[in-house]
A and B are shown apart, each in its own frame.
Chain A
């Protein structure tokens, strides 16, 4: 893609906007459509667009797979950890009411953390899957036959 100057310029302009939009969808999911899952997918799409245009190595340098691998588990642990925290605070598993003094505030906090966990896991798993596929060498014409 080294010679596609238009693609490179447009992608360079679009990638930050896509990542920012993903964060908006992530943290505005309580009020508008969207949530952790959609935000994670959009974030991964931004990273994938970057690696498509600037090459896989550049993508892996910006978002190292060694960091993504533990992050995929961190998301699920954050989700489960909120449940354990509610247990320790005297509520049922994933009963966010006990997280703050006011049950409604507790619900807000719980949903925010849980959705963040979903977003982290989805974004890192999808990016890792793309890296795993794209890292394999492409087949030559003879092999395709």
Chain B
């Protein structure tokens, strides 16, 4: 067996998987997006751009997703960074493992059940009742964009914490000493040494969370009360309620394109920022 055949054989399982689970379905979606809805629903072959022309009818769903996904990613980053920093730099090794496990523990329960728990926490008898007790009345939390944001950040926080933790954990502590020896303040050391070196973690975490949020439908459906509508919710309705496969495919294809473009731009930005890392590397 030559090296070449061996390589091909080793790649065969992954290649087959991608072909059957990614390439074929995406091709079907693309083909369907140029078709028409059948009289009773479903798909009728055709070649028309009508579905794409109709995209503005889902503008609100795209707008909600394109606002809440980046905001949710940013909120998760702001909350996750200090936590990851503490775990990687400050926490004593004795506690580190236990604290890390605590971050993953919520993942042992299904996201559906955890989101359901938030319905009760944010509902009238949960946090608003507590606020009323200390004199703040009339607060409504459930079925608002805020509730969706809380659910998103809660649900995806561990995916942000871990990559940042890993990048900070591998950080060479001698760099921090050098920075301090050279007279930099703590803030300056953080901004010029620690933060740039943790960029790969930030990039990975943000990407993981952002991509999942763009396709999210469960949390808006449960915590948004059907009023906070993501592209994911629009897709579910198009396939399961109005059975408009052609339009649904056009919306799905557009979402894929938007994600490809935004992820590419993001990666470019990160690699540009990451270039500065060379300035701080130890010889």
A and B pair up = no
